[in-house]
């Protein structure tokens, strides 16, 4: 079995757009020209491409509902899209379908500092929520590396994560209400402004449904108080294994850092080339640990952390002295994905999860796979929660390299499943990993999930072809 | 049915009872992974003891542990304690579930690792599902290190309005409060601070000054939180319910509730009201919630027959997407229905009351 071939989507014949869409949306917000089609043909995972019949730009929730109802009446599949940063091909257009671009639904409708929640439209940029909440001493916790461009709608669809998941959880842990429309035009209101609800957690089910149910038009987010202070440490190690052992030592101590991240030598090389982040020269791996909280608490915990780190045989320990230094440490880490573009023409990012205690074993196995295939793999990962991000480097213009890269990715995914982990920690299944979902879930569970999808999207027009293997609606 | 600690959630006599209290035992516990897996009938108390030995805990403060509440029942009821405010609720700590659907299929949702975005989040859907979507047989949870120490401050407030102001301030403050609860009947605000003991002294001193609060002795603090977690505080109340609301909705509601003689406990920094009262006050509360657009969950009712199998009071919940998904999980309608636990309609109750 291999990763879904990048050619699959293009094989389908394009259809002609049925009449009537211009009754709902003015011509200047319904683009069918070749340039628009090309601009939306792929997302953050550029290996997959498929041109939509049209790209529509609704500006109100009512327009979204009307467009979805038009799609339902005419059997036109659609994919809702924000900034298109999906790394699993989740927002690649559906052949014969339209793209509903939600970027213009970008208003923060309400920010309630008293009860600490925000109601936002799906096109709001992740970082903008925290920017708006900061004056009230609040922030929005989920922080994907793409947070300066990715949208909340996309975060909800793919249950995005970030560097702070061990302590704060993922997007779904911070979404408390959703208003939206199912693919058959039924409007829904799930949850609301309160942390607790009565009845099944429909909001939790909607998060991470990868756009297969319909479109969220208003999302209620939980806001948390901003930490008073941070203690960010950058530690250099002579081996990747030593960095991994340090993670275990920190976890076993009972500390709960906001973030624990590791980058290996190749990832460091790329980050240095891209943003000159000044990580310790010659490091085989760097560890970033960040504690956060009231100053008094940090004063206790930083001593404890220092003692632990001293026992892990580091060759360089750098504590951020101020917020500029802290941001500089994070800049290297957050730029890692785009930075590998400096050292390789093409790359695939994997997102598997392994039990934390097997991280060392997993990294050795990745190294073995890489050597055997001749494909370089750079490693960046959320070490605190066992979420790997192997960056598989290849050159698409060299014959056979893509195939070898995808086989490396497939081997890594199979390893994650075999270790009792997951094929995706935060990027979603999307188009890319759908062939692997049945390896994680048994047949009755796959059938149940398909029935859930069918109940929410009876005509299978809402982002079809994603998540489930062999799923075809045309 | 597990420990039968929240009897109002069980369906009536027309259904065959499946007793899951024998389905016990920890399947896997890996402290360094921050996860454990146990059978659904395992008592919470047993889990807390196991976690405590490794200085870990379920940070949402499960209720009724000492009374025999089980893991499965806690998930099905979707009920969290005061720690919900800071760390998240049951929904935020359940990672995986094994369940039997209405057509007898055994399915496995979620996973066993702390981070997982593959497939639909069936474990979360089980939270608050009241046993009406499937019978949970095994659950995997995420756990956290137990705070090194904690201390509780208590402050008398001049009014509910002032109390809400203090709650809002505490919830946004720098202290990282672990829980913020308020007892409207004696106007007392309780703030729990957690962290290393050396840090708590300074934080508690400053917070005490800010909120004009007294630091409680360890014994008094334990007694207060335990009385809430064990429902001792509802002794003498034939019914107990919980209603999610905003802090403004609380202020709108509380005068009438106090007039009715209904007792209450505001948890989750103003976001969740627990209530209990005499049998005859339940219908009035239901009407009051319905008028305010609030939906509540009735967890216990004794001698309030008018509610029968109903456990959802106030504004009925929407039948979407319950209608669609009940068919998916239970095509042959073997479980009591999600829509059946809702009062038939506000009009219906109002009609009864007028009679």
Is the separation of the CB atoms in B23 and B40 below 8 Å?
Answer: yes
Is the separation of the CB atoms in B185 and B259 below 8 Å?
Answer: no
The pair of structure tokens assigned to A238 is 């002579």
CB contact under 8 A, B32 and A356: yes
Closest-CA distance, B328 to chain A, in angstroms, reads: 6
Give the pLDDT confidence score for residue B257 in this predicted structure: 97
- Residues of A in Cβ contact (< 8 Å) with B133: 200
Per-residue pLDDT averaged across B139-144, rounded?
A: 97
> DSSP characters for B85-101?
HHH--HHHHEEEEEEE-
Give the pLDDT confidence score for residue B1 in this predicted structure: 76
The ranges of chain A annotated as CATH 3.30.465.10 are 108-225
Counting beta carbons within 10 angstroms of the beta carbon of residue B352, is it exposed (0 to 12), middle (13 to 18) or buried (19 or more)?
A: exposed
Tell which residue, B311, B314, B309, has the closest CA to residue B298.
Answer: B311
Query: Count of A–B CB contacts within 8 Å?
Result: 270
pLDDT in tens, A273-330: 888 889 999 999 999 999 999 999 999 999 999 999 999 999 999 999 999 999 999 9
pLDDT in tens, B189-210: 999 999 999 999 999 999 999 9
Total length of chain A: 474
Give the pLDDT confidence score for residue B305 in this predicted structure: 62
- Report d(CA B152, CA B180) in Å as an integer: 10
Is the separation of the CB atoms in A174 and A120 below 8 Å?
Answer: no
How many C-alpha atoms does A179 have within 13 Å on its Cβ side? Answer: 14
pLDDT in tens, B85-126: 999 999 999 999 999 999 999 999 999 999 999 999 999 999
- Residues of B in Cβ contact (< 8 Å) with A442: 107-108
- Residues of B in Cβ contact (< 8 Å) with A116: 171-172, 269
Tell which residue, A188, A366, A187, has the closest CA to residue A266.
Answer: A366
For residue B295, what are the contacts with CB-CB under 8 A and spacing of at least 6? A198, A199, B243, B244, B289, B312, B313, B314, B315, B316, B317
- Residues of A in Cβ contact (< 8 Å) with B320: 182, 186, 188
Is the separation of the CB atoms in B150 and B192 below 8 Å?
Answer: yes
- Residues of B in Cβ contact (< 8 Å) with A385: 113-115
Closest-CA distance, B116 to chain A, in angstroms, reads: 4
Mean of pLDDT over chain A: 92
Per-residue pLDDT averaged across B29-33, rounded?
A: 93
The ranges of chain A annotated as CATH 3.30.70.2190 are 229-338
CB contact under 8 A, B196 and A354: no
The pair of structure tokens assigned to B310 is 């109903």
Would the pLDDT of A5 be above 50? no
Nearest Cβ partner for A193 among B246, B296, B318? B246
Closest-CA distance, B221 to chain A, in angstroms, reads: 21
> Confidence class of residue B19 from pLDDT cuts 50, 70 and 90?
confident
Give the pLDDT confidence score for residue B306 in this predicted structure: 63
CB contact under 8 A, A297 and B196: yes
Closest-CA distance, B296 to chain A, in angstroms, reads: 6
φ/ψ (deg, to 5) at A118: -130, 140
User: How high is the ipTM of this complex?
Assistant: 0.95
pLDDT in tens, A397-418: 999 999 999 999 999 999 999 9
For residue A179, what are the contacts with CB-CB under 8 A and spacing of at least 6? A61, A187, A188, A189, A190, A216, A217, A218, A219
CB contact under 8 A, B121 and A207: yes
From 3.40.50.2000, 3.40.50.2300, 3.30.43.10, 3.30.9.90, which CATH number describes the A21-101 domain? 3.30.43.10
CB contact under 8 A, A455 and B321: yes
CB contact under 8 A, A355 and B144: no
Pairing of strands B295-301, B239-244: antiparallel
Nearest Cβ partner for B108 among A296, A421, A441? A441
Closest-CA distance, B156 to chain A, in angstroms, reads: 21
Query: CA distances (Å), A102 to each of A56, A57, A79, A83, A151, in order?
Result: 9, 6, 10, 9, 9
The ranges of chain A annotated as CATH 3.30.43.10 are 21-101
pLDDT in tens, A454-465: 999 999 999 999
CB contact under 8 A, A256 and B112: no
Helix (H) or strand (E) holding B30: strand B26-30
Is the separation of the CB atoms in B242 and B273 below 8 Å?
Answer: yes
Per-residue pLDDT averaged across A28-44, rounded?
A: 89
Q: For an interface test with B, which of A229, A296, A435 has the most B Cβ atoms less than 10 Å from its Cβ?
A: A296
> DSSP characters for A31-83?
E-SHHHHHHTS--SSTT-----SEEE---SHHHHHHHHHHHHHHT--EEEESS
The domain A108-225: what is its CATH number? 3.30.465.10
B270 to chain A: closest CA residue: A115
CB contact under 8 A, B318 and A173: no
Nearest Cβ partner for A386 among B113, B324, B325? B113
B126 to chain A: closest CA residue: A200
User: pLDDT: is A46 or B65 the higher one?
Assistant: B65
CB contact under 8 A, A440 and B202: no
Give the pLDDT confidence score for residue A289 in this predicted structure: 97
Across B184-238, the runs of DSSP E, i.e. the strands, are 188-195, 214-215
Tell which residue, A369, A417, A360, has the closest CA to residue A392.
Answer: A369
- Residues of A in Cβ contact (< 8 Å) with B107: 442, 444-445, 448
Per CATH, domain A229-338 is 3.30.70.2190:
yes
């Amino acid at each position: 079995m291999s990763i879904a071939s990048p050619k699959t989507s293009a094989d389908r014949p394009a259809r002609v757009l049925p009449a009537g869409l211009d009754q709902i949306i003015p011509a200047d917000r319904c683009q069918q020209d070749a340039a628009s089609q090309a601009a939306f043909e792929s997302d953050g995972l550029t290996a997959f491409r498929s041109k939509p019949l049209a790209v529509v730009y609704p500006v109100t929730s009512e327009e979204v509902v009307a467009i979805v109802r038009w799609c339902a009446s005419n059997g036109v599949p659609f994919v809702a899209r924000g900034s298109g940063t999906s790394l699993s091909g989740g927002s690649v257009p559906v052949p014969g379908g339209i793209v509903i671009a939600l970027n213009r639904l970008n208003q923060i409708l309400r920010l309630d500092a008293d009860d600490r929640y925000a109601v936002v439209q799906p096109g709001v940029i992740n970082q903008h929520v925290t920017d708006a909440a900061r004056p009230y001493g609040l922030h929005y916790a989920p922080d994907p590396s793409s947070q300066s461009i990715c949208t909340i709608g996309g975060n909800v669809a793919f249950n995005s994560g970030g560097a702070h998941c061990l302590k704060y959880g993922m997007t779904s842990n911070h979404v408390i209400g959703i208003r939206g429309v199912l693919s058959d035009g039924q409007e829904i209101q799930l949850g609301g402004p309160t942390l607790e609800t009565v009845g099944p957690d429909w909001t939790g089910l909607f998060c991470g449904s990868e756009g297969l149910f319909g479109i969220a038009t208003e999302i209620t987010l939980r806001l948390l108080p901003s930490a008073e202070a941070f203690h960010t440490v950058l530690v250099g190690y002579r081996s990747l294994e030593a960095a991994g052992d340090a993670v275990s030592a920190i976890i076993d101590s009972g500390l709960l850092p906001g973030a624990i991240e590791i980058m290996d030598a190749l990832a460091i090389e790329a980050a240095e080339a891209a943003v000159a982040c000044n990580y310790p020269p010659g490091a085989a791996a760097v560890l970033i640990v960040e504690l956060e909280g009231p100053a008094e608490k940090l004063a206790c915990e930083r001593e404890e952390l220092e003692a632990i780190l001293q026992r892990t045989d580091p060759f360089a320990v750098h504590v951020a002295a101020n917020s500029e230094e802290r941001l500089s440490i994070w800049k290297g880490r957050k730029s890692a994905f785009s930075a590998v573009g400096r050292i390789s023409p093409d790359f695939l990012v994997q997102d598997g999860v392994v039990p934390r205690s097997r991280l060392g074993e997993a990294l050795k196995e990745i190294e073995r796979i890489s050597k055997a295939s001749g494909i370089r793999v750079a490693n960046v990962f959320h070490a605190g929660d066992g979420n790997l991000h192997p960056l598989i480097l290849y050159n698409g213009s060299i014959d056979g390299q893509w195939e070898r890269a995808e086989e490396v990715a497939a081997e890594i995914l199979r390893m994650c499943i075999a270790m009792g982990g997951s094929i995706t920690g935060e990027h979603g299944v999307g188009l890319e990993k759908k062939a692997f979902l049945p390896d994680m879930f048994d047949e009755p569970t796959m059938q149940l999930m398909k029935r859930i999808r069918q109940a929410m999207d009876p005509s299978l027009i809402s982002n079809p072809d994603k998540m489930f293997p062999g799923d075809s609606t045309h | 049915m597990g420990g039968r600690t929240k009897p109002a959630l069980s369906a009536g006599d027309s259904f065959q009872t499946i007793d899951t209290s024998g389905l016990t035992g920890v399947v896997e516990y890996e402290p360094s992974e921050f996860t454990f897996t146990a059978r659904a009938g395992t008592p919470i108390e047993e889990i807390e003891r196991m976690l405590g030995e490794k200085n870990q805990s379920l940070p949402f403060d499960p209720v009724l542990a000492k009374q025999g509440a089980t893991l499965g029942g806690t998930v099905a009821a979707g009920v969290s304690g005061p720690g919900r405010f800071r760390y998240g609720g049951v929904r935020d700590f359940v990672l995986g579930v094994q369940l039997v659907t209405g057509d007898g299929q055994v399915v496995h949702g979620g996973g066993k690792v702390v981070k997982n975005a593959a497939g639909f989040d069936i474990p979360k859907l089980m939270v608050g599902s009241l046993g009406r979507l499937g019978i949970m047989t095994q659950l995997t949870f995420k756990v956290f290190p137990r705070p090194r120490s904690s201390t509780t401050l208590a402050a008398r407030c001049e009014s509910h309005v002032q109390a809400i102001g203090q709650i809002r301030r505490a919830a946004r403050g720098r202290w990282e409060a672990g829980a913020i609860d308020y007892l409207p009947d004696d106007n007392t605000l309780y703030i729990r601070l957690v962290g290393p003991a050396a840090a708590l002294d300074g934080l508690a001193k400053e917070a005490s000054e800010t909120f004009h609060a007294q630091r409680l002795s360890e014994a008094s603090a334990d007694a207060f939180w335990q009385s809430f977690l064990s429902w001792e505080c509802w002794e003498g109340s034939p019914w107990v319910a919980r209603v999610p609301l905003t802090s403004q909705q609380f202020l709108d509601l509380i005068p009438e509730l106090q007039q009715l003689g209904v007792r209450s406990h505001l948890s989750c920094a103003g976001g969740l009201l627990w209530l209990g009262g005499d049998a005859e006050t339940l219908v009035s509360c239901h009407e009051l919630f319905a008028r305010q657009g609030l939906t509540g969950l009735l967890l216990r009712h004794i001698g309030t027959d008018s509610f029968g199998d109903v456990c959802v009071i106030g504004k009925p919940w929407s039948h979407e997407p319950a209608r669609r998904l009940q068919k998916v999980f239970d095509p042959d309608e073997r479980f009591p229905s999600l829509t059946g636990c809702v009062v038939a309609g506000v009009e219906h109750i109002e009609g009864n009351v007028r009679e």
